[in-house]
């Protein structure tokens, strides 16, 4: 089925991959993107995308721009968002305006220009802490950490009896635990999609993305994915900086797998109305990932700096339960992590990146967001 598909935020890292995947499947692709400097740098937007992709430069909060972008469109992939847990905790108006109001404007315009299906990008961040199991074998959805602001290196969540909890893969049924403004924003985008789609004859789907990596990440944006931040440091001859003790565990999924998930979510009948995790199903410690990336980039001497402090809004462990997406989207990550890191390293070697991690840390500390 060939369609004309609008991708909001389609000039970003994930959006470009989704656009190329949709083109390869025979679709026509239009992008609405404001091309903000923090993400894209100073760019010529016309050179960022495949020549077959139509670019409309505009803000998702601009109703006129959204109306123009929706003309003749069959389906929408909604990626437009400010991204960054830490920055969202002090750029509150900016994040809430772009993410929540931008989504509201999009769906308000969709009332007059309904499409077949809208697939919205959500985030693992809405879970807060992932799912855990206690010493008695019971599942724990609302794990909390204590002592982070008391000068204690008590990184791991414990139960009411101070017994350690064991992290397990986090499924979609886990209740949200919104520990940052960004997480709140992404949950609002999810709920807006599901609330608004059906009453106006549309189908809504949400994909909760885990840690996406691959060539094309915004290396100069210190609030983006952790692998891009590490790569920028390494490229500039600096050691990766890791908060806490580096043993926090995450799920890293290649952007090519994510692009395929979006393309499938647009067309599979059984995806209608669903919310799905998109991850690799494999968890890794952040320190392990930093070390492996340094090795792939030939920077073995640049061992990670363990900060030993936590950022407000960060969580300890969260990794992906992939069973529902396998069942309903037939999704399984294909990219090998080692090969993906080698590909990322090769791409990074050809880039120029401004390392702004120290600036980011200073901003967080100045606002009391590092404990």
CA–CA dist 154, 237 (Å, integer):
31
- The residue among 12, 7, 23 whose CA lies nearest residue 69 is 7
Judge whether 258 and 209 are in contact, CB under 8 Å.
yes
State the catalytic residue, choosing from 95, 182, 213, 223.
Answer: 182
List, edge to edge, every strand of the sheet that includes 75-78: 54-57, 28-33, 4-8, 75-78, 117-123, 203-209, 275-278
CA–CA dist 159, 150 (Å, integer):
18
- Count of C-beta atoms within a 10 Å radius of residue 112: 9
Q: What is the residue whose two structure tokens read 């600036």?
A: 359
CA–CA dist 308, 269 (Å, integer):
47
Q: Is 182 a catalytic residue?
A: yes
Three-class DSSP category at 331: coil
Please provide the DSSP assignment of 181-229 as one string: HHHHHHHHHHHHHHHHHGGGT-EEEEEEE-EEESTT--TT-TTS-HHHH
Tokens read off for 138: 């019971």
Any idea which residues carry the catalytic annotation? 182
């Amino acid at each position: 089925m060939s369609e004309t598909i609008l991708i909001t935020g389609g000039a970003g890292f994930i959006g470009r991959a989704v656009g190329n995947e949709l083109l390869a499947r025979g679709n026509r692709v239009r992008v609405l993107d404001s091309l903000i400097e923090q993400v894209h740098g100073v760019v010529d937007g016309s050179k960022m995308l495949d020549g077959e992709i139509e670019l409309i430069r505009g803000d998702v909060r601009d109703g006129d721009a959204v109306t123009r972008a929706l003309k003749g469109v069959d389906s929408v992939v909604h990626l437009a968002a400010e991204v960054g847990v830490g920055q969202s905790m002090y750029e509150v108006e900016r994040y809430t305006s772009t993410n929540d109001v931008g989504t509201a404007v999009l769906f308000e315009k969709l009332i007059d220009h309904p499409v077949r299906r809208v697939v919205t990008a959500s985030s693992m961040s809405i879970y807060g802490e992932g799912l855990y199991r206690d010493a008695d074998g019971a599942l724990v959805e609302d794990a909390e950490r204590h002592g982070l602001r008391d000068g204690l290196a008590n990184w791991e969540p414990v139960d009411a009896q101070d017994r350690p909890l064991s992290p397990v893969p986090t499924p979609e049924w886990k209740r949200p635990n919104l520990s940052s403004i960004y997480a709140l924003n992404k949950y609002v985008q999810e709920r807006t999609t599901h609330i608004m789609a059906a009453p106006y004859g549309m189908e809504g789907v949400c994909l909760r993305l885990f840690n996406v990596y691959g060539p094309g990440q915004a290396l100069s944006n210190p609030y983006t994915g952790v692998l891009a931040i590490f790569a920028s440091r390494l490229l500039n001859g600096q050691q990766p900086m890791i908060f806490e003790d580096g043993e926090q565990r995450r799920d890293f999924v290649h952007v090519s797998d994510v692009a395929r998930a979006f393309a499938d979510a647009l067309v599979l009948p059984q995806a209608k109305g669903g919310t799905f995790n998109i991850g690799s199903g494999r968890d890794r410690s952040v320190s392990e990932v930093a070390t492996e990336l340094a090795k792939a980039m030939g920077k073995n001497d640049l061992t990670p700096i363990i900060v030993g402090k936590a950022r407000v809004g960060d969580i300890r462990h969260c990794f992906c339960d992939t069973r529902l997406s396998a069942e309903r989207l037939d999704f399984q990550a294909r990219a090998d992590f080692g090969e993906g890191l080698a590909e990322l390293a090769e791409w990074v070697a050809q880039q120029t990146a401004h390392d702004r991690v120290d600036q980011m840390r200073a901003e967080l500390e100045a606002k009391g967001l590092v404990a």
